[in-house]
Amino acid sequence: MCVPTYSQEFEIKNGVNIQASYYNGGRVNMGWELMKTYPEIEAVRIEIEPYRVNQARTWIMEAHDHGYQVIATYHDSQQLGSDSRQELNKAAEWWKNNYKSLSSTGPVIINVMNEWGSHKISAKEYAEAYNEAIETIRTVYPGHLIVDVPGFGQATRIAADAYPLMEDKKLSLSVHIYTSAVNVEKQRWLSHEDLSYLNASGAKCMVGEFSDDSLGGADWCGLVDLCYEAGWPLFGWAWNGDGRGMNMIEPHWDDQPFASTYSATELMEVITNKLAGIPCYSQADADCELNLIGEICDDENVYTINDRYNENCHCEGVFAADLNSDKVDIDLIIYPNPVSDGREITIEFFKIFSNGQINIINSMGQTLMSQTVNQDQDRVTINTSQLHSGIYWASFYNDQEVLASKAFIVI
């Protein structure tokens, strides 16, 4: 159980992630007016590629103008999961050179670097690298820092073991929770045990990213519930800018960067429910005739977070204790998984009766390899020598439609 063991002296509010760097030179309409209709969102975590400083000043200014707390994250898409100490120091120097400019329109909480550190880095190496980087940042910034857990925000044991070795304790460790989140050391999906490592460390903690990416077996929803109960700040992925379709609003900036109006996608309710603390798979009591909580009650007041619980309504609702057990069968079997760098993996097909292709996709949604699959094949082999350590997805496509997808790990 993820139980708080600290007093959070510095309040980080709940919010959403924004990734605007890749679209139209970062010149986009953020959709602030729509965001303001969701009181669950009180903060934004803005990912900034190192070449987007000028545009980032505009994003930060607009966020403050609309009353949001701002976390700014150094993000280098080429260095996700990197163990390069040089790259972490580069991020620290970037903050040293740009913090004053970025914070000129209002307070900015520094998230040192997005997803630095792999599943392989040692706790000692992780702590030593951050000790050096933080020393540089402290020359310009005395405030609270956010440090991403290594292994794409998932290797919690490494971060927990590193925390006692970290000289500056004015920070929060940030975990990233998705269905694809894994514990590589134990070769299993992320679980409550992994959150307990952070809890036991005594560090302040938060969830810097979370979403249902439907590409793995981790119970993302239940894990986020535990963190909410522990008082950890939560940041959903993503308001807009995700390259794989996890956007809370549409149209996507890649299609219409200056859309005059936006509408909510289905992900909006998924994320805002978690920010509001609504447990997984809640349902109304019998008096509500099995309608989902929030569907039929209206207290005729201005919309507030409490309306999601139907407070002051006749159908107050109860919450189902059982987690969702309806699992979609995966029609791909991948082995060995995890696979050592350079070895081959075998992908077997089940219930697939047509021609198509297997694509190997990285965490940025980029297709790295493709292989044609004929109807009479039941398996293919893929050489992983060109893949770095990390999480990838094998997806079977037919007529541009994804029929099956499964994650695998390269270590």
CATH number of residue 344's parent domain: 2.60.40.3080
Q: Is residue 258 part of a domain?
A: yes
Q: Is residue 361 part of a domain?
A: yes
Are 156 and 217 part of one and the same domain?
Answer: yes
> DSSP secondary structure string, 150-164?
HHHHT-HHHHHHHGG
> What is the distance between the alpha carbons of residues 3 and 272, in angstroms, rounded to a whole number?
22
Tens digit of pLDDT at every position of the chain (411 positions): 333 322 334 589 999 999 999 999 999 999 999 999 999 999 999 999 999 999 999 999 999 999 999 999 999 999 999 999 999 999 999 999 999 999 998 999 999 999 999 999 999 999 999 999 999 999 999 999 999 999 999 999 999 999 999 999 999 999 999 988 888 888 888 888 899 889 889 999 999 999 988 777 788 988 998 899 899 999 999 999 998 789 999 999 999 999 999 999 999 999 999 999 887 754 434 444 444 434 444 444 443 333 333 333 333 333 333 223 233 344 677 878 778 767 888 887 765 666 888 888 876 667 788 888 887 777 888 888 888 877 788 888 776 566 677 778 887
Looking at residue 402, its pLDDT comes to 65
Are 305 and 336 part of one and the same domain?
Answer: no
Looking at residue 327, its pLDDT comes to 34
Judge residue 127's burial from the number of C-beta atoms within 10 Å of its C-beta, 0-12 exposed, 13-18 middle, 19 or more buried: buried
Q: Is residue 326 part of a domain?
A: no
Q: Is residue 5 part of a domain?
A: no
Are 174 and 58 part of one and the same domain?
Answer: yes
Are 53 and 147 part of one and the same domain?
Answer: yes
Are 312 and 371 part of one and the same domain?
Answer: no
Token pair belonging to 245: 């379709």
Are 148 and 265 part of one and the same domain?
Answer: yes
CA distances to 152, 188, 279, 369 from 323, rounded to whole Å, are: 25, 19, 9, 36
Looking at residue 258, its pLDDT comes to 96
Q: Is residue 4 part of a domain?
A: no
Are 346 and 271 part of one and the same domain?
Answer: no
The angle subtended at Cα 309 by Cα 306 and Cα 310, nearest 5°, is: 90
Are 392 and 294 part of one and the same domain?
Answer: no
Are 263 and 292 part of one and the same domain?
Answer: no
Q: Is residue 9 part of a domain?
A: no
pTM recorded for the entire structure: 0.71
Q: Is residue 85 part of a domain?
A: yes
Are 231 and 378 part of one and the same domain?
Answer: no
CATH number at residue 94: 3.20.20.80
- Show the domain range for 294: 283-318
The count of structural domains within the chain is: 3
CB atoms within 10 A of CB 254: 14
CB atoms within 10 A of CB 29: 18
Are 209 and 294 part of one and the same domain?
Answer: no
Q: How does pLDDT run across 145-202, given as a tens digit for each residue? A: 999 999 999 999 999 999 999 999 999 999 999 988 888 888 888 888 899 889 889 9
* 8 Å CB contact between 221 and 324: yes
Q: Is residue 305 part of a domain?
A: yes
Are 133 and 210 part of one and the same domain?
Answer: yes
